[in-house]
Structure formats: structure tokens, C-alpha cells
Structure 1
Amino acid sequence: MKAAVITSFGEPSVLQVAEAPRPVPGPGQALARVRAAGVNPAEIQARAGAFRLHAPAIIGFEFAGVVEQVGPGVDESLVGERIAGWPDSASQGSYAEYTVSSNFTTIPDGVSFEEAAATVIGADNAARALGLLNIRPGDTLVVTGASGALGSAAVQFARRRGVTVIGVAGTSNADFVQSLGAIPVAHGPGLVDRIRAAAPGGVDAALDTAGKGPLPALVEVLGGPERIVTLADRDAARYGVAFSAGHSGNRDSQPVREALDLIAAGAWTVRIGRSFPLAEAADAHRLVATGHTHGKVIILP
């Protein structure tokens, strides 16, 4: 099969298309023909050498595709189904024509492969973070990075749960954030004052999906770090804030399926910024690194 194979870690150019062995599904696994793979900041870190992966490696942490084969213990009727989920190995990922997975959900009719692949990590991480924050109807929640895949999923889940959302994003994304049902607030200097102006009754909790320095402002707004969670800032402990990373032990396909069903019903927005063929995976990484994607970046193997 063709895959973007990393033989040494470093700059985007290390993503080189090459032939790689097609994986074989083991017990509990499905082999999927990958039709779309989301591109995430964590994959940029992995490509650069984080996570101590061993070369050769195929990265890509979320996918949508079609089941071609199943391993022992998996219902044979799944063959031919459209699925979205997580590859089982961080080094046998979705930047490839095939991947294997034991954690996935089926894709409902009316949802494209690109939309499904763009939803997996965002919906799962957002739902987990809102649970950690113990979000309740009537709360007022600040979400930073509200126009991104993680942030927009958090906004939409929170709004559906009766929460008022202050969505922090760039001014060019204000209309999009407002379309999700949030009150848009521009990031940057003066953020504390702008949040307070948008929420004169106060703020109950905050979720950081941006990871570009807003934690001190969020701590100031809330008067402490207790009801703040970040999905993106690994320096969170400096501010007493909880950091929550997605990993194989906490991934949940249920909120992914909830979001996909809402997409099919026309009640959920997923924004695709740009799609790249597998041969241009390096360019996809370069675009994500700019932070100005205006939607999820997708690789089409």
C-alpha cells in the first residue's frame, strides 16, 4: 500500500510517500481502506520527534474509511461498512491507504468521509473536557480556539446542553463562531476585559483548545484554576490548570457518533479548510503549522 512513511523525524519534508506493508487485522480489529484522514497539531509534534515513535512510522491519529476485512471476534457483516475512528497504533496510522482499528463508529448516510474524519478527535476531546468541567445547563462557559475543530465541537456540545458560550477566536472567524451559537470575543491583549463585557453575570468554567497563552487570562476571569481545562497547553501545571490529552485509554466513540448523527440531521457544523492528496502530506502539515486553516485540514490517501 502507499503511505506517508517517516524514516527520520524532523521537518515536514520527512513525510515521503512510499510502499509499506498492508496491515493485517488482529483480534477485535477491522482493516479499513482509508478515504480521509484528519490532520492535527499532535501529528505535527509526532512528525518532529515527539511521543518517542520508532521509525519507520506512519502517523495519522483519526480516519474515515470502509471496512475491507475483520479480525477474529469482529462481526463479518461489518465488511463494506463506512466507519470513522482511531488507528490502533500511533506508528501505523491513517496517512496511508489502509489502517487497522478497534475503536470506531459507523458513519451515517448523508455524512461525507471528509466530514467524518474531521469530527473524530474534536468530538471526543470536547465531550471529555466538558465532562471534566462538570458543565451544567445554565452555566456560562468560555471556549478558546472556538473556531477550530476542538473548539467548535465544544461550543456545539455545550450549546446543546443549555450552556451560554463565550467563543474566543480571531476576528476573521467571529461570524463562524456566532453561527455556532456562541458569543464571539477576539483573542489577544485585553481578553479579560472583553470576556467580562460579554458575560456581565460572570463565567462558570473555561475550556482552552487554543494552547497559545490564554490560561493566565482565564484564571483571572474565573478567580482561580479550579474549573478550567486545557486540551492544548502542556504548561498547564504552571497555572494550576488541568491538562487532558486524548489517548488509547480514554477515547470514546459515543460522542463521535452523536456528532455524526447531528451532521446527518443538518444540526451540526463541521468546517473543512482544505484537502490534500497523500503525496502533499508535507504541505498539509505546513498549513496546519500556520494556525490559519479556516477549518479542518484533511489528507485523502
Structure 2
Amino acid sequence: MKALQFSAYGGPEVLTVGDAPEPHAGPGQVRVQVRAAGLNPLDWKLRAGYLSQGAPLEGPGRTGFEAAGVVDEVGEGVTGTAIGDDVFGLGNATHAELAVLDAWAAKPASVDWAVAAGAGVAVETAIRGLDLLGVGRGSTVLVDGGAGGVGAVAVQIAVSRGATVVASAGEANQGYLTEIGALPVLYGEGLAERVRAVAPQGLDAVLDVAGKTPPTTLASMVADPAQALTIAQFDLGDSGIRLTTGGEIDRAAALAEGARLLQSNDLVVKVQTFPLERAREAVEISESGHVRGKLVLLP
């Protein structure tokens, strides 16, 4: 099968499309014929060696943590899913013609393959953050970085739950934030003051998905610093805000919630698609940090 891979850590130039061994579904897993696979910042951080802790690369490296496709192999213990089902979800090495998923949900027939492929990581991450913060009806939450892949999904899910959402982004994306139901503010210096201007009642929670605002600033916008949560910053000092890296929620249940919202059009995921052979171009866009919605590869 064809797969995106790299034989050394480095920039986008180390990526190639070549032959790779076919994976197989283990216990509790399914294998899919990939129709589309999402691209995330974690992919280029993996390729650049940021996650290696200094260890050398052993064998070809593979990227991809989400995909949508048709189930063609079902692992031991899997129930409720059969060969031929259309699904989307989370796995590893998904930038390929075949991929194994560890968590998945049925893809609604009305949802495009690329949209479903770009939804998995963003939906799981957004729901995890919102759940850990207790965001629901009557809450007022800031999504710091609301125009990106995870941020735009978090905004829409929070709105669907009945929350008032303030979201930050650059000048070019202020209209987009309004379109998806948020009160838009510019990110950068002075963010706290701009948030207070549009939400004078104060915030119940802050979800940082961009990693650009200092932790002390995020903490200052809520009464309890623990009601500020980041997915993008690791050096939090003594700010008191929390970091989430995964594992705290039922991923399959989160994906099922995302599927329902996609089907009802309460969640819209904007995507840019690229054939697998143009993956370098997509990665360069991802690394630029100026992405609206999700980047998706088509094998």
C-alpha cells in the first residue's frame, strides 16, 4: 500500500510517498480503506523529532492520527461494527491507503469523507476540553484560537450546548468567528481587556487551543485558575491553569456526539483537501500556523 513516511527527522522535505506494509486490526480495533485522513500539528511535530526525546528514528516514520474510510477488517472483541461500514475516527499512521483505528463512530451518509476525516481529532480534543471545564448551558467561555481546526469545532460544540462563546483570532478571521456563533476578539496583547469588553459578566472558563497567550494572562481571566485549560502549552509555571493531553474521556462517545452534530449541521468543519502526493504543501500550511478549519489528505 502507499503511505506517507519519512526516514529521518527534519522539515517537510523529508516526507515521501512510498510502499509500506499493510497494517492489521488487533483486538478492539478496525482497519479501514482510507477515503480521507486529517492533518494536525502533532503530525509535523512528530516528523520534526519534537516528540522523540532525543532518541534516533528507528525504521520509517509514519504520520496521521485520524481518518475516515470503509471498514475492511474487524479485530477481536469488536461489536456493532462490520465490514463495509463507513466510519471515522482516531488511530496511528493514517496517512495511507489502509489504516487501523482505535476509536471510531459511524459516518453519517450526509457527511463528506473529507469533513469526517478532519473531524476526529478536533471533536475529541474539543469535547475533552469542554467537558473538563464543565462548559454547558449558561456558561460563558473563551476559546483562545477559535478559527483553527480544534478551536472552530470547540466554538460550535459549546454553542450547541447553550454556552456563550467568546473566541479570539486574527483580523482576517473575525467574520468567520461571528459566522460560527462566537463573540469575536483579536488575539495578542490586550486580549484580557478586549474579552472583558464583550463579556462584562465575566468568564466561567477559558480553553486555550493556540498556545499563544501567556498562562498568567489566561489565569487572570477566570476566578479560579483551574478553570483555564490548555492543550497547547506545557510550561505553565505556577499559573495554576491545567493541561490536558488526552485519555480523560470516552473517545468513542465523543466521536458519536460529533457525528450527531455533523449530521444535524450544528457542527460544520471547513476543510482544504490535498492529494497524498502534495502532502508537503499541506504540511507547510499547517506549520505556518495560519489555518482556517482542517487540512485533509486524500490517498
**TM-score, with structure 2 as normaliser:** 0.92
Residues 219 and 240 in structure 2, CA contact (< 8 A), matched pair in contact too? no
| Distance in 1 of aligned mates of 2:122 and 2:81 | 28
Equivalent position of 1:240 in the other structure:
240
Instruction: Among all aligned residue pairs of Structure 1 and Structure 2, give the percentage whose two residues are the same amino acid.
Output: 38
In the TM superposition, 1:23-34 aligns within 5 A as 23-34=23-34
Equivalent position of 1:278 in the other structure:
276
| Distance in 2 of aligned mates of 1:55 and 1:238 | 39
Equivalent position of 1:58 in the other structure:
62
Q: How far apart are residue 26 of structure 1 and its match? A: 2.3
Among 76, 80, 84, the alignment partner of 1:72 is 76
**TM-score, with structure 1 as normaliser:** 0.92
Q: How far apart are residue 251 of structure 1 and its match? A: 5.6
**Cα pair distance change 1:280/1:193, threshold 3 Å:** same
Equivalent position of 2:125 in the other structure:
125
Residues 208 and 214 in structure 1, CA contact (< 8 A), matched pair in contact too? no
Q: RMSD over aligned Cα, in angstroms?
A: 1.8
What amino acid sits opposite 1:256 in the alignment? L
What amino acid sits opposite 2:65 in the alignment? F
In the TM superposition, 1:129-208 aligns within 5 A as 129-208=129-208
Q: How far apart are residue 223 of structure 1 and its match? A: 4.9
Among 273, 294, 297, the alignment partner of 1:296 is 294
Residues 39 and 297 in structure 2, CA contact (< 8 A), matched pair in contact too? yes
Provide, for residues 152-178 of structure 1, a one-character-per-residue CA deviation record: whole Å limited to 9, x for no partner: 121122112221111111121111111
Structure 1: state its 5+ residue gaps: none
| Distance in 2 of aligned mates of 1:94 and 1:181 | 32
What amino acid sits opposite 1:143 in the alignment? V
**Cα pair distance change 1:76/1:125, threshold 3 Å:** closer
Structure 2: state its 5+ residue gaps: none
Equivalent position of 2:254 in the other structure:
255
Equivalent position of 2:264 in the other structure:
265
| Distance in 2 of aligned mates of 1:10 and 1:156 | 35
Provide, for residues 204-259 of structure 1, a one-character-per-residue CA deviation record: whole Å limited to 9, x for no partner: 11000111234332222225522100011122345221110135x75612222222
Q: How far apart are residue 75 of structure 1 and its match? A: 5.1
Residues 60 and 94 in structure 1, CA contact (< 8 A), matched pair in contact too? yes
Q: Secondary structure at the match of 2:32?
A: strand
Residues 208 and 215 in structure 1, CA contact (< 8 A), matched pair in contact too? no
Equivalent position of 2:47 in the other structure:
47
